[in-house]
Amino acid sequence: MASTTDSSSILPAFRVVEQCRVSPCGDGPLAAGEELSLPLTFFDVPWLGRRPVELLFFYRWPGLTTPHFAASALPCLRRSLALALHRYYPLAGRLRPPRPAPSSDKFHICCADGDSVSLALAECIDGGRHFEQLAGDDARCVHAFRPLVPEIPMAVDDGGMLALTALQVTVFPGAGVCVGVSIHHAACDGSGFMSFVRTWASACGSGEEAAAVPPAGELPVIDRTLVSDPRELYTVFCGMKPMTSPGKVHTPTDHEPAFVRSTFLLRRAHVEELRRRASEQMPPPPPLLRYSTFVLTCAYVWVNLLKVRGEEQPPKPDEGVGNASYFDFVVDCRGRLSPPLPAAYFGNCLGLCFVDARRSDLLGKGGVGCAVEAIAESLARMGKDGQVLQGAEEWIPKLAVRQPGRVLSVAGSPSFRVYGVDFGWGRPAKVEVMGIERSGAVALVESREEDGGIEVGLALTAPEMSRFTSLFAAGLEDK
């Protein structure tokens, strides 16, 4: 369980030891001097204005030194990365905006022989002490994490194109190592992100070229023509602002050390207790509804965050805008389309799920049960057999009109199995989903301690985090 320890300690210092670029290797789809252009689909374009998908993987490695890592582990990381990029070659490409003519031209990912991605090796000064702090669960200053996150250059090159991927490995001498991965969201969603990372890690851990295949055994499917667009959603989405939730967004500065990140664990027993309480508070759910671990976790966090912020903004008794609360999240549409896309499709394939509820209901008796039912109902309405895209034209406009400060969203997913990423150094000691300090989202990954549990990551001000910690713990006590 997280606690709000002092987060104002001296921040770790870092230095870059080495920088290089890694190109895909092997016989790929591109011959020497050849170029390949992949058009973005309507699933991709809403994410053009979003921050990259950023994850940090922490691994304990007692006694590690930077020279030893650079001489032994880094060459293997490079070779395995080149093998993984052979399979996921769009990540080494560049994002090209539409050309002036013809007017029907689209955004493309342009891939050419000789493409490469940036890989940096960094070192943390006084690494042992800082590793245990950053890889922990207690409240930690958000500034401490940013040097670990590789930055994708935002400047365009001479052709007006943007890079899509950046990687960084940071050594904490005597303690461990952190692998940071940043990928432009327009290139792929979280499912594709994790498929690439698992392939890289598997190839590194085995040291064999044959291992540059996703551990699940399915090669990525990079055929964008599989995504049909009879309603011309690409044109609809391109004419709108990027998909950006108007939720509580906070960009920390050097003058705000009190803004902290914490991780909270819901054990399997906690989840079962929440399921029991929700079933008692609400009528039996219809057959299409399922009180899943995801639904129960989101409902519990939603209600507790409302309580934290509701102390200063009590809900109004009426049913107007002042009493509205929103929870939004994305769902994987691959299996929900008709016909479905392959599970290994590499790109974006996400639909938006909107949940509306009254704050007075969520903060009242049985509030968690109310939140559970609202989320489960909205998820069930996403449907299957091609119905998932009903009303898709309104996704972005609906986000734009929802009240700022009243939207909760989700980053990550327990289904990604992030704690299975092993580069040959063992399971991660901790995985952090970055960017939640900007978006105000809640980060969800599976528990590293037990099957059926879930880890919840939040970034709040120190006073908010202190209140949330107390509420989260109190709500799990036997009643």
pLDDT score at 404? 64
Q: Please state, in angstroms and rounded to a whole number, the distance separating the CA atoms of residues 210 and 208.
A: 5
Amino acid residing at 214: P
d(CA 368, CA 391): 28
In 10-73, alpha helices (H): 66-68
pLDDT along the chain (479 residues), means of 10: 48 93 79 82 93 96 96 96 94 90 79 93 88 95 94 74 96 97 97 96 79 68 94 91 45 56 96 90 69 95 91 51 85 91 96 93 92 92 74 89 76 95 97 92 95 95 95 85
The 10s digit of each residue's pLDDT in 16-55 is: 999 999 999 876 666 666 789 999 999 999 999 888 999 9
Half-sphere exposure of 445 (CA within 13 A, CB side): 24
Provide, for the chain, the percentages of residues in helix, strand and coil under a 3-state DSSP scheme, each rounded to the nearest 5.
35, 25, 45
What pLDDT score does 477 carry? 84
Contact 171, 139 (CB under 8 A): no
- Integer Cα distance of 166 and 154 in angstroms: 11
Domain boundaries, the chain: 14-237, 259-418+435-475
- Does the domain at 14-237 match CATH 3.40.605.10? Answer given as no
Among residues 113, 126, 137, 422, the one annotated as catalytic is 422
From CA 441, how far away is CA 245, in angstroms rounded? 9
Q: Which amino acid is at 309?
A: R
Euclidean distance between CA atoms 261 and 143, whole angstroms: 10
Distance CA 204, CA 206 (A): 6
pLDDT value of residue 155: 64
- CA torsion 461-465-467-471 (nearest 10°) is 150
- Local structure of residue 45 (DSSP, 8 states): G
| 86 DSSP assignment | H
Task: Give Cβ neighbours of residue 35 (< 8 Å, ≥ 6 apart).
Answer: 110, 111, 112, 113
Type of residue found at 469: T
The 8-class DSSP code of residue 30 comes to -
The DSSP letter of residue 221 is B
- Does this chain's domain 14-237 share its CATH topology with 259-418+435-475? yes
For the stretch 64-88, pLDDT in tens is: 999 999 999 999 999 999 999 999 9
What's the CA gap between 292 and 374, in Å, rounded? 13
> Sheet containing 176-183: which strands, arranged edge to edge?
14-22, 117-124, 165-172, 176-183, 53-60, 430-433
So what CATH class is 259-418+435-475? alpha beta
pLDDT at 62: 95
68 catalytic? Reply is: no
Q: What local confidence, expressed as pLDDT, does residue 30 receive?
A: 65
Rounded-to-integer distance, Cα 115 and Cα 218, Å = 24
Beta pairing class for 442-446 and 407-411: parallel
pLDDT of residue 257: 43
Q: Would you give the DSSP letter of residue 403?
A: P
27 is catalytic: no
Residue of 86, 185, 189, 361 marked catalytic: 185
CA pair distance 114, 153, nearest whole angstrom: 18
Tokens coding 309: 């912020």
Q: What is the pLDDT of residue 1?
A: 47
pLDDT at 133: 93
| Token pair of 268 as six digits | 């399997």
